[in-house]
Structure 1
Amino acid sequence: MTQVTEVAVLSTVDEPNAHDPALAEDEEDGGERVEPITEAGEGLTPSQREVLERCLHALTHAKNDSHTLAALLLITRICPASQLDKPTLRRIFEAVGLNLPHRLLVTAVRGSDSATASLPPEELLSLGTALLAALSTDPDMASHPHLLSTVPLLLGLLADGPSQTQGTPGQNPTAEPHSGPDGGGGGSDDVGGGGENAQEAPDSTPRLDQAMAADCYQILEAVCSLETGPEQLLSRGAVPTLCRAIEHNQVLSQEKGLPLLGCLLSGRSREKAWRKHPELLLSLLARVSAHFRQAQGQARLDQCSRLMQFLPPPGVATESAALKAVVSALWEELRPMTQARLTPAQIGPLLVLSACLLDLGGWEPAGPPKFCCLLVNRACVEVRMGLEEPPGTEISAELQHTLTGCYRIMEAAMEQACSQALAQSEAPAQPAITGISLQQSRQVLLVLQEAFAALIYHLSQVDPSRYGDPFVFATFRSLCAWLAEETACLKEEVTALLPFLIGYARAHLMGEGPDQSLSHWMSEMSVGEEGGAWSGSQALRYLLPALCHLSAEDGPRKVLLSLEAPALLVEFVSRGWARLKGRAGVATPRDPGLETACSALLNFTVTEPDSVRNDPCFRTLETLLSEALPVLVHKPALLVLAANLCTLGLMIGRLMPATSGPAESGPRRFFSAALRFLSGALEGPGPRPGPVAVSSAWEAWWGEAQELWRLGLQALGGCVRAQPWLSALVREEGWLAGTLALLETGARLPDQRTQEALEEALCALAEGCPACRQEIGGRMRAGRAEGALGGMGALRKTVGVK
């Protein structure tokens, strides 16, 4: 094989056909030059284009690696990669493949006994990285497995220089096949040599210069820009390797490596990277924070956005002392900056960074109450200035980013301000803003009210065509967070906005909204149901607490009825139950959204009986309840949801017209499950007299479920009066006998309200069912009613026992 030396390469530059048979062949054919298939870049001169086309022809007809290298080296000297267009890159790729540049890099790093190893390692590295950089500009090539296989090698070059020998992160670079897509990268004389023949060449170890480092980073940036690129880089050890390059201040590590690492840590791969490398990334964060604190003036403001990329996601490493120290130090620098006079462009990144720090550490490290109030005030001012614009005004992407950060500051202050303002005479709980006074809390609540009025104004102008806009979702979510805490303020404005709120939530739940961009944004932000992808129900989930409050008030509830809000809630519950069914055999975590939706539906059943009787969505709900409750009775972790469904079904049952003849299977199945569920809440003292206690199965949930249980018992009494057949079922299921036995042996019930609820249900049975009245009266007359049963005066009167 012909030796390709540096001298030969340089000679070929001056005389393109002197050493390359493929180039000389054109001359033998009469001097006709192969016509260019495409013009290869506007920046090339005619002579460059001519030589480039000859090189491409030679590359296509290369018989071995020597010919391929000669042509490639000429191309890299004639035309920079940035001036090569995609068709030209495609021709190079088809002729060479991605395996050849891979082998060039391996040869340069590890050495080889092949003939081409006589090329200086610097040439091999330069050619290999330049070729890969050029090819990576095409996304199809950047995602090719052969190019991805070079990622560990490139990372190793950037972190450790070309002197690395083994242990490149991710995989063995010599394990790749030795042929390109069309065979152009193959040949009898491999550039890569082989794993066993690789030799150390310490005397000729090349140094990674700036141009080669730039090519390496260009390739990695091209991979990172792919949809699955961050995951590809993470799986190949990019985080620890780039951290090492930055720590050792390798070539371009600050200019290129740090931004690339920031990109990896700011998308979907953020949480995974932090969970895998917490200590390493905390050390990097401390280093970046130190640079931020050392910067002055505008330079420090410019670094706010970069610093945010290196903060961990909330919930990861939050207990770390190192992270707390970094957050506290950053607040020390941010306080005087926030108090200074800044332009809107300057204050934006500062507020967004403050929001990120609040997500990580809350208000405690932020500073004294006066500063915290100032921060909230500045955020609210920015929101009002940004949203209170005339209709049709377009909000720039930069301003949207700022306002989204302001929303987070407002939400962080909202819960504390509301609770402090309402708890005037009570001992307040530990405040989120340490030391804030009641007067300061009221002032914060006032500025928050004005800012949320601006959100209402903005959302009132949103057209359905913008339902897929991530900024609209962020604004909607922030308003819902406020409504979950505060519904007394701006009541008329909120009621007027209900058509938008319901319409927006319905469009996303039913899949009617153009939410492709929103789905992508939610995926990037790792927002989804149970860690999953965007499903469309998130909008309604955020609105549910507000609906629970608003459905309890006459005015808003009438509007909600006109908007068919109950049908929307039933659809949400149906989908939630379908998802729970799909987890058969798998641990089923609580779903607070389902419980809140049931609470809102319960408000409608209590206050709007005519709607319950006439709206077909409640028939759909009854069918769902008859299927769900018998299953949930046997799932202790979902006891609160079962309590919601049980009480909701009983409240609906009391409003249904009486049926003649035997009950249908669905209602009978539901009431049987309801009776079993209600009977499990209390347990007697055992063989000796004593107090009745909450059962062990209910004890952990009693604080949340006791009101639902009592309301369910009251509704059971109403069902017995409305459905005569139910009395017989109560006796068949053993609920009556079991309850009477419990009350006989128990000296007292857990509290008076529990006794009143049981007594009301027993009175209803005694009034509507002679057999039940006889059984209850017999127990009382037998002289064994010395326990809690004997103290039920209304029940004694109903059954005629003195």
Structure 2
Amino acid sequence: MADSAEVTPVVTCQSPPGPGKEEQGGGEGGGGGSETDAGAGLTETQTEVLERCLHALKHAKNDSQTLAALLLITRLCPANQLDKPTLRRIFEAVGLNLPARLLVTAVRGNDNCGLPPQELLSLGTALLSALSTDPDMAAHPQLLTTIPLLLSILGNGPMNQKKQAAEEQNQAGEMGLSPDSEVHLTDISNPENNPDSLDESVRETETSKQKGDDSSAANGASAPQETSSKLDEAMAADCYQVLTAVCALPRGPDQLLSRGAVPALCQAVQQNQTFSHKRGLALLGCLLAGKTKDKAWSKHPAVLLSLLVRLSKDFCQSKDQDKLDMCSKLVQFLPPVGVEVEKEELKGVVSRVWVELRPMMQAKLTPRQIRPILVLSACLLDLYGWEMVGPPKFCCLLVNRACVEVRMGLEEPPGTDLSPELQDTLTGCYRIMEAAIEQACCAGVTQTATPAQSSISTLSLQQSRQVLGVLEEAFSAIMYHLQQVDPSRYGDPFIFATFRSLCSWLAEETSCLKEEVTGLLPFLIGYSRSHLQGESQEQGLSDWMADMSVTQETAAWTGREALRYLLPGLCHLSAEEGPRKVLLTLDTPALLVDFLSQSWTSLKGKSGVASVRDPSMETACSALLNFTVTEPERVRKDPCFRTLETLLSEMLPVLVHKPRLLVLAANYCTLGLMMGRLKSAPSGSAEAGQRRFFSSALRFLRGALDSGSSPGPVKVSVSWEESWDEAAELWRLSLQALGGCVRAQPWITTLVREEGWLKHTLAMLAQCSALPDQQTQEVLEEALCAMANQCIHCKQEIGDTVTRSDKGALSCMRNLKKLVGVK
């Protein structure tokens, strides 16, 4: 067509700025208006002409008339100056069918359509860009189907579309277009194709408009001689506007991910396509945040790792302020912990970045400058721990810097609001501190023969003490901050991050700051109970767990997370008299029982009972066991322990058939038997739940040892062998408790014989030559003595077996032989 050189830039300049486009002054050649100006600034004449254009658009008879009316509208007023009702009227008149057909026609390379493919792409992307400024239109299914073509333009460049034609033929079908749904144009410059002779009116309004603003760019116009240089930039801006608008939708990241956005954008960045280094990386950063991060890395690990390698090299080559700015960008592109990637290549990236971070960390930096460095350091630690951080001296510096930042950030007067930026920094510092705690607690005490020189485990004893000292000061500041927290803030993700960090300290160290820790227990228990019982607003925490790149923080929020982190510390604290008394006043045993109940319900919901261990359930049992051993009167009187008995009678019979959950079963068995020894004998027959629990416990304990078919020492059975290191002590404690149960409730001896435990144990002891250790022999002898004392039938059976056995392990049990009258 004759004046396409003039028409094209006018169309493409209608792309609104959108997210990320503001820095470009409203887009390449675009209008400079903001969203707050939308629909404002039109004169009465312009408004009248706009109405006539909309009427013409609605009654257009063919593609040429439709495009002519659209061009007139864009010349009258760029899209970013149109209000939403006007955009919607345009959408209702044109729909998304036309821009979709423009793209498909360009891809197919039809020479009969009337315009070159480049101009068709420019028209199509500009229309889509304008329509996408309305979120409802951006979410329209037909607009979403154009995403692969827009990505292809960005990834391959608009001039390579014919090469992609064979691969893109199916796009028309996805868009709901038939094979002949192409655009057919006549000369748009022909007055007959300008409905209602509006062109002259538009020129008049444009003239009056430009009197108030001499800048053609601000009015959305571009000089004709700049057409060839501005075209690609304008098209790229339009494509990114559409993709950014889609990404901003609630399900936008998933929509882009499922349509191949990650590899296409990575390709655009790698090829340095127009705007891609800035707009493409920003869009990829959105896709690699939150819930889509794991999906993106799982689906495209190779291309994302390749991009990360490039970014890490750019980081190493950048200077001063640019390097500081890139710290935040690198954080976005690091893979989540546990993703399957090429490990050596990722290690190379991490090692390369640490080399650059060391001198930066050692330099004199302002708090604002050091914050992105600390956050990036925390993310690198998540990936490979201290393995590649550097020499011990630098590890100490890193921890010290993090602790200083925490103290400066938290030791503020009560009621001081922390900025989101500072909260993000402190969360990163917490992760550095958490990574240092366990290592520093054992460093310098048990040095390995050939320690890795890059690991914090090589800290000298003096360095380890220094690290523990600065950690203690930082955790003192954390406790001070948590003391000020009002229950209304329990749903704040930052409070959860602060709470979790303190719990990591309590899991390793409770001897320091004991008074402060004890004083904070009301908050710690109240906070955990609030989340467990669903009293806090959890959505923010759920989103935080998805957004944060924290090890094993990808699961959905359940409400049990707070108590799960506190449990190791509770185990230590419940063993100490002072803190235990405070915990009892806070009704902590009931909280632990509630946690076990909820965890069991969740476990059952996963295809029956899942075979994946949940260490937190085992830790909760350990804390309850501490209360059971030290506070017998509380166990007898507190109703929550009655609830626990019922729960154990339901759980243990199921777990005895789950070998992978053997340690959990051992915890339940021990806890139930330890409580059972504190109960008195029932006046009548035992309850069904009690019988069910003790029957399961006897079957479970019987399966631990195996004498085999020939004489020799007893071995740990195959089913227990893998877990014996963890379960052995629980097994012995259970046998001791079984003896106490028999003395308190003699009716159990009947079950001991009916379930075959006594017969099996005596046969094993008579046949074997030795037991695994002296402790095992002692607990078995104690249990057998209790049974012989309480049941005449048991005593007779034991005596008969001892009489017949003169060489086995049974013959070494002197107290038992004396009790049954065998010399």
The normalised TM-score by structure 1 is 0.89
2:248 and 2:166 map into 1 onto residues whose CA distance is 23
Q: 1:136 aligns with which of 132, 135, 142?
A: 132
1:611 pairs with 2:603? no
Q: Please state whether the residue corresponding to 1:209 is helix, strand or coil.
A: helix
1:759 pairs with 2:781? yes
1:652 and 1:430 map into 2 onto residues whose CA distance is 47
2:367 and 2:86 map into 1 onto residues whose CA distance is 46
Aligned to 1:201: none
- The runs of at least 4 aligned residues of structure 1 exceeding 6 Å deviation read 7-10, 167-171, 424-431, 526-530
1:707 pairs with 2:704? no
1:107 pairs with 2:105? yes
Contact conserved, 1:609 with 1:655, CA < 8 A, in 2? yes
Aligned to 1:718: 740
Alignment of 1:332-411 (within 5 A): 332-411=355-434
Deviates more, 1:601-610 or 1:769-778: 769-778
Q: 1:588 aligns with which of 603, 608, 611?
A: 611
The alpha-carbon deviation at position 143 of structure 1 amounts to: 1.5
The alpha-carbon deviation at position 119 of structure 1 amounts to: 3.2
Q: 2:183 aligns with which of 180, 191, 198?
A: 191
Amino acid at match of 2:311: V
1:787 pairs with 2:808? yes
Q: Please state whether the residue corresponding to 2:336 is helix, strand or coil.
A: coil
Contact conserved, 1:76 with 1:130, CA < 8 A, in 2? no
Aligned to 2:148: 152
The alpha-carbon deviation at position 330 of structure 1 amounts to: 1.0
Amino acid at match of 1:761: A
Alignment of 1:550-565 (within 5 A): 550-565=573-588
The alpha-carbon deviation at position 516 of structure 1 amounts to: 2.0
The alpha-carbon deviation at position 127 of structure 1 amounts to: 2.5
2:311 and 2:491 map into 1 onto residues whose CA distance is 35
1:638 pairs with 2:636? no
Alignment of 1:274-673 (within 5 A): 274-317=297-340, 320-420=343-443, 423=445, 432-525=455-548, 532-584=555-607, 587-673=610-696
From the superposition, tell whether residues 503 and 793 of structure 1 become closer, same or farther in structure 2 (CA, over 3 Å): same
1:732 and 1:352 map into 2 onto residues whose CA distance is 62
1:120-172: CA deviation from partner (whole Å, max 9, x where unpaired): 44443232212211221222221111111010000011111223133698983
Deviates more, 1:584-593 or 1:359-368: 584-593
Contact conserved, 2:148 with 2:259, CA < 8 A, in 1? yes
Contact conserved, 1:691 with 1:746, CA < 8 A, in 2? yes
Aligned to 2:209: none
The alpha-carbon deviation at position 754 of structure 1 amounts to: 0.7
1:376 and 1:425 map into 2 onto residues whose CA distance is 20
Aligned to 1:727: 749
Contact conserved, 1:522 with 1:528, CA < 8 A, in 2? no
Contact conserved, 1:467 with 1:473, CA < 8 A, in 2? yes
Q: Please state whether the residue corresponding to 1:588 is helix, strand or coil.
A: coil
The count of aligned residue pairs is 752
Q: Please state whether the residue corresponding to 2:409 is helix, strand or coil.
A: helix
1:458 and 1:394 map into 2 onto residues whose CA distance is 11
The alpha-carbon deviation at position 641 of structure 1 amounts to: 0.7
1:689 and 1:458 map into 2 onto residues whose CA distance is 64
2:669 and 2:788 map into 1 onto residues whose CA distance is 23
Amino acid at match of 2:480: Y
Amino acid at match of 1:223: V
Aligned to 1:30: none
1:310-339: CA deviation from partner (whole Å, max 9, x where unpaired): 111122256621111111111111111101
From the superposition, tell whether residues 8 and 342 of structure 1 become closer, same or farther in structure 2 (CA, over 3 Å): closer
Contact conserved, 2:337 with 2:550, CA < 8 A, in 1? no
The alpha-carbon deviation at position 666 of structure 1 amounts to: 0.7
Q: 2:47 aligns with which of 31, 46, 49?
A: 49
Aligned to 2:253: 230
1:337 and 1:529 map into 2 onto residues whose CA distance is 29
Contact conserved, 2:440 with 2:457, CA < 8 A, in 1? no
Q: 1:119 aligns with which of 99, 106, 115?
A: 115
From the superposition, tell whether residues 551 and 470 of structure 1 become closer, same or farther in structure 2 (CA, over 3 Å): same
1:593-642: CA deviation from partner (whole Å, max 9, x where unpaired): 11111111111111111111111111111111111111111111111111
Deviates more, 1:129-138 or 1:561-570: 129-138
From the superposition, tell whether residues 215 and 369 of structure 1 become closer, same or farther in structure 2 (CA, over 3 Å): same
Aligned to 1:746: 768
Aligned to 2:221: none
From the superposition, tell whether residues 178 and 433 of structure 1 become closer, same or farther in structure 2 (CA, over 3 Å): closer
From the superposition, tell whether residues 499 and 483 of structure 1 become closer, same or farther in structure 2 (CA, over 3 Å): same
2:569 and 2:289 map into 1 onto residues whose CA distance is 31
The alpha-carbon deviation at position 375 of structure 1 amounts to: 0.8
Aligned to 2:208: none
Q: Identity across aligned pairs (percent)?
A: 69
From the superposition, tell whether residues 207 and 391 of structure 1 become closer, same or farther in structure 2 (CA, over 3 Å): closer
The alpha-carbon deviation at position 384 of structure 1 amounts to: 0.1
Contact conserved, 1:5 with 1:119, CA < 8 A, in 2? no
1:169 and 1:527 map into 2 onto residues whose CA distance is 40
Q: Please state whether the residue corresponding to 1:217 is helix, strand or coil.
A: helix
Deviates more, 1:733-742 or 1:517-526: 517-526
Alignment of 1:761-780 (within 5 A): 761-780=783-802
Structure 1: give runs of 5+ residues left out of the alignment: 14-37, 180-185, 194-204
Contact conserved, 1:103 with 1:192, CA < 8 A, in 2? no
Which of structures 1 and 2 has the larger relative contact order (alpha carbons within 8 angstroms, sep 6+)?
Answer: 2
Aligned to 1:31: none
1:213 and 1:619 map into 2 onto residues whose CA distance is 68
The alpha-carbon deviation at position 427 of structure 1 amounts to: 8.1
Q: 1:216 aligns with which of 239, 248, 258?
A: 239
From the superposition, tell whether residues 579 and 527 of structure 1 become closer, same or farther in structure 2 (CA, over 3 Å): farther
Contact conserved, 1:504 with 1:539, CA < 8 A, in 2? yes
Amino acid at match of 1:697: S
Amino acid at match of 1:164: Q
Amino acid at match of 1:800: G
1:799 pairs with 2:799? no
Aligned to 1:161: 157
Contact conserved, 1:305 with 1:349, CA < 8 A, in 2? yes
Alpha carbon RMSD of aligned pairs, Å?
A: 2.7
Amino acid at match of 1:141: M
From the superposition, tell whether residues 730 and 586 of structure 1 become closer, same or farther in structure 2 (CA, over 3 Å): closer
Deviates more, 1:308-317 or 1:609-618: 308-317
Contact conserved, 2:102 with 2:182, CA < 8 A, in 1? no
Contact conserved, 2:545 with 2:554, CA < 8 A, in 1? no
1:432-485: CA deviation from partner (whole Å, max 9, x where unpaired): 415311110110000001001111111111111101111001101111111111
Amino acid at match of 1:748: A
1:68 and 1:680 map into 2 onto residues whose CA distance is 82
Contact conserved, 2:443 with 2:457, CA < 8 A, in 1? no
Deviates more, 1:291-300 or 1:123-132: 123-132
Aligned to 2:718: 696
Contact conserved, 2:789 with 2:795, CA < 8 A, in 1? yes
Q: 1:67 aligns with which of 46, 59, 65?
A: 65
The alpha-carbon deviation at position 91 of structure 1 amounts to: 1.3
From the superposition, tell whether residues 645 and 430 of structure 1 become closer, same or farther in structure 2 (CA, over 3 Å): farther
The alpha-carbon deviation at position 528 of structure 1 amounts to: 11
